[in-house]
Structure formats: structure tokens, C-alpha cells
Structure 1
Amino acid sequence: MARALRALAIFVASVTAIAMAPPAAAAMDPIPGNGVFVVGPDIAPGLYHTDGSASVVGVWINNVPTQDSMCAWFTYGTPDANKEHVLQTNISIGPMYANINTSVKAFESQNCQPWTRVP
């Protein structure tokens, strides 16, 4: 009988611990336009879209936008966003897509409008 009571107590304690555990953090959607985000805890894999640069004033020299006027994104093969492990990158003033697939460990966005997941 004592063995059955002890097993029941362990079961009740386990269920209570599970019920009281904090909920998992939801992945960001939309993704802010600036920052480094780890795939999994911060953002979910998928196809994302931005309307482009977040700059209110574009600066052009010889009909070419300056880097500060453009939106840039990078995907990385490591969660620490090491520049030696860039998988893909793009830069533009206009709308763009970024495919954050399962091989991507981190995503970096610079000077972009928010990124929304494409269904």
C-alpha cells in the first residue's frame, strides 16, 4: 500500500509541476526591423516579407541609394550570427522576402520595416 501511495504522490507532483510550468514563449510575428533573432526561441522558420527600408529620408548619390537608406537582412548557420557563417543576404530599398528555412539558426535585419510571415 505504501508503494502505491508513493507512486501516486510522485504522479500528482509531476502533474502539478507540468500544470504550473510557464507557457513557452510565442515566436515573434511580425519580426521587428532591427535586430538579431534566433530561430526557435525568437522566431519560427518560414517565408517572411517586408515592405523595405525603414528610412524616412532616402539619401542617393549618383542615382544610387546609400547603405544607410537601405534595408539589409542576413541568415546565419550559427545562432550567434557570426559573419563567417552567412547563408543568405539581400539589401534593397523596396519590398523583399526572406526564406528562413530549417538550416537557418539566426536572422538579422537592419533598417527594415517589420517582417511578417507569409502564410
Structure 2
Amino acid sequence: MRLHVTRAAAVVAVAAMASAAPASAEPMNPIPGNGFFIVGPDIAPGLYHTDGSASGFQVWVNDVPTQDSMCLWFTYSTPDANKDNVVATNMSVGPMYANINSTVKAFESRNCQPWTRVP
């Protein structure tokens, strides 16, 4: 079987594809508890809150929780995970906030419950 497409039909199809607006995704809210996110396309600037560690178990050594038991986050001045560009960081087993202001270019979260934007 041979498919025959006229030149006019092909031009119309290409023009329709070119004029279609790309699908725009809304920034995530809540932000997943694990991942690296670019401010702008992935997440919006703002103040975010998490209920803390997503770890189902807490391991403490000498009354100090291990890093695997804690929620850890970083903000970056560039859109990559280069630790030389960390603006702020924090870790906790309990609830905490992260301020992702307009100068921050990326946000990384590890072992945290989802982050919800505070109105």
C-alpha cells in the first residue's frame, strides 16, 4: 500500500504544527521530596515547607540522627548541582522551611517529604 500526500496537504500540515503553541507546564507545587529542580520551569520562587524526613526509620548514633535519617536541601546560585555554588542548605528530621528566592537558580531536596509553597 502506498500513501500519497499532495504537496498542498503537506504544507498545511507543517504550517499547523509550526503555529501550534508548545504545551506549557506549570511549576510543581508540591515539590517532590527527592530531586534537583530548576527555578522557573520546574518550580516557582517562594517559601516552601516540608514536614521533614521521608525516612520510615530514624537511626541515631550518640543522640544524633544519621544523615540517612534526615531531610537535606540545597539552593544554588547556578542551574547545576556544583557544590561550589550553594547559597543555603539545611538538614533536619523534623519540619522545616526553604526560602527559594528570585536569586536562586536551582533547588535540590534529598530524603524529604514533599515541599508545599507557603502562601
**TM-score, normalising length from structure 1?**
0.83
Once residues 67 and 80 of structure 1 are traced to their aligned partners in structure 2, the CA distance between those partners, rounded to angstroms, is 22
Structure 1 moving runs of 4+ over 2 Å: none
Equivalent residue number for residue 79 of structure 1: 79
How do 1:1-119 residues align onto structure 2 when only pairs under 5 Å count?
17=19, 20-119=20-119
Once residues 28 and 82 of structure 1 are traced to their aligned partners in structure 2, the CA distance between those partners, rounded to angstroms, is 23
Instruction: After TM superposition, give the deviation of residue 22 of structure 1 in Å.
Output: 2.2
- Equivalences, count: 104
Once residues 101 and 95 of structure 2 are traced to their aligned partners in structure 1, the CA distance between those partners, rounded to angstroms, is 19
Task: Output the aligned Cα RMSD.
Answer: 1.5
More helix by share: 1
- Cα deviation 1:8-60 (Å, max 9, x = unaligned): xxxxx7xx82xx21231110000000010000110000000000000000001
Give % identity: 75
Once residues 90 and 61 of structure 1 are traced to their aligned partners in structure 2, the CA distance between those partners, rounded to angstroms, is 19
Instruction: After TM superposition, give the deviation of residue 62 of structure 1 in Å.
Output: 1.0
Equivalent residue number for residue 9 of structure 1: none
- Cα deviation 1:77-107 (Å, max 9, x = unaligned): 0001210000000000000000000110000
**TM-score, normalising length from structure 2?**
0.83
Once residues 115 and 71 of structure 1 are traced to their aligned partners in structure 2, the CA distance between those partners, rounded to angstroms, is 11
Once residues 73 and 99 of structure 2 are traced to their aligned partners in structure 1, the CA distance between those partners, rounded to angstroms, is 11
